[in-house]
Amino acid sequence: MTGRAKRTALGAVLAGALLVAGAPAHAQAQPLGDQAEWRIRQEIVDHALRQVGQREGNGNYYPPQYQVAGQGVLRPAEWCGVFVNWAWTTAGVPDKPSMRPAPGASVLDQGHWATYWQKWGRANGRWKDIAERDVAPGDAVVYGNYPDMHAHVGLVVEVKYDRTGLKATHVRTVEGNFGDRVVYSKLRKIEGLNAGKYLQASGFVSPF
């Protein structure tokens, strides 16, 4: 099953999670492919939605539950990437960006750095450029381009598609460290998707 066909099927699995949050699921129901993958995507969405409203302490002391044991991200820290990593890790995503740089690697090459998710996605066949309009719930959305310092990363929790079911038109996200808290966005158009006037979305990273 192709990535886009799988993505379309995902709507049937995630409908319950999205409706609990008061948001309708927008996708065509198709036979499922890898059900374990879809369960993990649903877990990512569920975990993210349950965190909406969580706030950091003074000076980027992000909520301690996002500090995944053994991954090396200390508090305080800029924590949008920490939040995405926590949701993916807690949901059981097997392969994801390292939260600490490899020996001798750039300090930028860690999941703590928002646009490293773009670099990692490209290197591992997980990157989907914004122009492709190919996205599914559970994907990470990256704002900015590696190695930009002015950047952000969040989680897609809902997708609305065009009539073909192949191209995304709108997404809804949950993002950590946005205004020092976890926020739940309105449904936003793919075109012009941003995290601020000068911070455009560059694309999405799939957990699989």
| Tens digits of residue pLDDT in 72-93 | 898 999 999 999 999 999 999 9
| Torsions phi, psi for 189 (to 5 deg) | -65, 145
12 lies in some domain:
no
Lookup: tokens for 162: 């065009």
Enter the tokens of residue 195: 């995290």
Is residue 154 in a domain? yes
In a domain, 2, yes or no: no
The verdict on residue 51 lying in a domain is: yes
Please report whether residue 186 resides in a domain: yes
pLDDT digits (tens, 9 = 90+) for 164-208: 999 999 999 999 999 999 999 999 999 999 999 899 999 999 999
Per-residue b or e along 103-123, where b marks 16 or more CB atoms closer than 10 Å to that residue's CB:
eeeeeebbbbbbbbbbbbbee
**Residue 1 predicted with pLDDT over 80:** no
Give residue 92's domain range: 44-205
Q: Is residue 4 part of a domain?
A: no
Domain count, the chain: 1
Overall average pLDDT of the 138-157 stretch: 97
Residues in the chain: 208
In a domain, 170, yes or no: yes
| 80 vs 191: CA distance, rounded Å | 22
d(CA 173, CA 184): 6
Q: Does any domain span residue 173?
A: yes
- Asked whether residue 94 carries a pLDDT value surpassing 60, the answer given is yes
Check the CA dihedral 115-119-125-130 and report its sign: positive
